[in-house]
Chain A
């Protein structure tokens, strides 16, 4: 029998500390957070929203092929990312810009990716990038990579040792549309079979481009993993404290060897799927108004003000966001051209005769036009 479980919510939509019944067990996870942590959460959300706006503008000005904004999903992403530990591994989809930033990635790499300068903007094996793996554009494929990685952590014995710096977990991000993909379902089968140290973090932003979540599932998506034997919880994804607490609990359980779990964060994509999209064709004004009233940043601002944060703090964050956006713009406009022969460089890890031959041919062909003649 399916057991209905109410949503974990800690801040009401007006920013009042008012935990739901389902939130009770998660409240101790908030104890470790200081006021400075709360301010950092706000800073993370505000800066990335400004970054999104800048990137959308840059796309409109012809600087990028595409931009997938995360506007509206900041609390789900910041809360979950801030709950991860340095040794954890993160497998994103392609909209987790702030997660990348929190893990240490220079997110100009995302601009390079969307600009068409590269197919992958950062090195997931460089410790500076916080084990944040590459963006994956084919929906759901990364859930299997995450599960395989988590199997490896388990085979290596890096769970349940009691060493807080060693025990590790994997968190994989995906969306409501992806839940219909076979790979996501196969990932849950493997995760359950191998009891992987892993959190499936679903951002249900209500839309797969234009198709509503009701077309993907007739039941709330957090109930689906239970059929695979994976415990699950639904959280208010626009409540950064709830997102943090729930993720901290389940990543902790995974590190302790208690196996996989599944978090459905209810949120909303304010605006377009990408800059190529036109949400006015499928989204009603009422839907938009409902979710704008639940904006994660405004909600947390109200909470912080109730805790004593003043205008100075918010002005400082605004300035940081402006500076960050200006720097992204400056670097975008200054980006160097891409060397054509670079397309051959990393297709294989080991020498390959066809790569050598075709690279040499292209270079000779290009040189045949003479300097500046092409």
Chain B
């Protein structure tokens, strides 16, 4: 691939993940891709385009249409020493595999007293902003972050996507890999020479002094947009990309809050019992004396993801984030 000959290249996230998968498939013949329509078609988002032709049908499997079956057989393949990477076609289609993910994949290492690692990656295109029908725009991260034994990550940029998918495949633990599908197409620089951060590190993506904004996946671009608008009004916002939802890398968040005294946690998912709730509670416990305002959550509403014509009223955008910033600064 010519892109590997140069150090950096501008790529959309979908192609960056494709390049990462190709690298992993090349590096180890135990890596397999499994999923619905991922072979001949290249996946409904074309993330696996060309890989079946390049690596063959025993490395890139067009699976029968059964999510529990795909994850369950991936578990068996991992027991055999393979490193399966599963694509769930859309966020809302992950639930038929819920038992295999939460009661089997997540627990087999523990059940086997550490004698059976489970190096399985489950890629889930997630989130809204694409105007799709029901079950195609959800953010189900919290179900999996709640389950011990799983690791949960979500890239926000093409560069992170390229590296994080490879790091997830290298992990000997199961990794839920949430891909922000609304970010599949915008291009960004991918540095092929070295990874910018470990898989489970959060990262400060914009420095500021008045308040800290935290989010992951597609939300990061909203946070940056809000910070840019606020800067024009003389408000300095720090933005942290979580990257990992389980475990959560708290050190940069706590140190940022110690500096700014204010935290706004943002997410597309419903707020009730969410990753954002967990972060709010933990920061309140660990940075209580640094806080000058309560931690504020900006989330989707506690309703089913609504019909696409009203999704913009459900999904937090820069204005909703700035409304929360105003409330935090008012304390």
Contacts and interface: CB of A to CB of B under 8 A. Distances in A.
Contacts of B116: 123-125, 134
A349 B72 contact: no
Contacts of A134: 108, 111-112, 116
Contact of A144 (B32, B73, B96, B107): B73
A147 B63 CA distance: 13
A156 interface: yes
Contacts of B81: 152
B193 interface: no
B115 A123 contact: yes
A138 B76 contact: no
Given A348-B149, A349-B114, A144 B172 contact: no
A182 B68 contact: yes
Contacts of B118: 349
A123 B111 CA distance: 10
A148 B74 contact: yes
A183 B69 contact: yes
B69 to A, nearest CB: 3
Given A138-B103, A141-B103, A123 B76 contact: no
A239 to B, nearest CB: 31
Nearest to B71: A144
A354 B64 CA distance: 37
B109 A346 contact: yes
Given A147-B72, A153-B80, A120 B113 contact: yes
A120 B111 contact: yes
B69 A186 contact: yes
Given A124-B112, A347-B110, A138 B99 contact: yes
Contacts of A294: none
A344 to B, nearest CB: 10
A141 B72 contact: yes
A150 interface: yes
Contacts of B173: 348-350
A316 B276 CA distance: 66
Contacts of B100: 141, 144, 183
A126 interface: yes
Give 9 nearest A-B pairs by CB, closest first: A148-B76, A144-B72, A152-B80, A148-B73, A186-B69, A346-B114, A149-B76, A120-B111, A349-B172
14 contacts: A120-B112, A124-B112, A141-B100, A144-B69, A149-B76, A149-B80, A183-B68, A183-B99, A186-B66, A186-B68, A190-B63, A347-B149, A349-B118, A349-B173
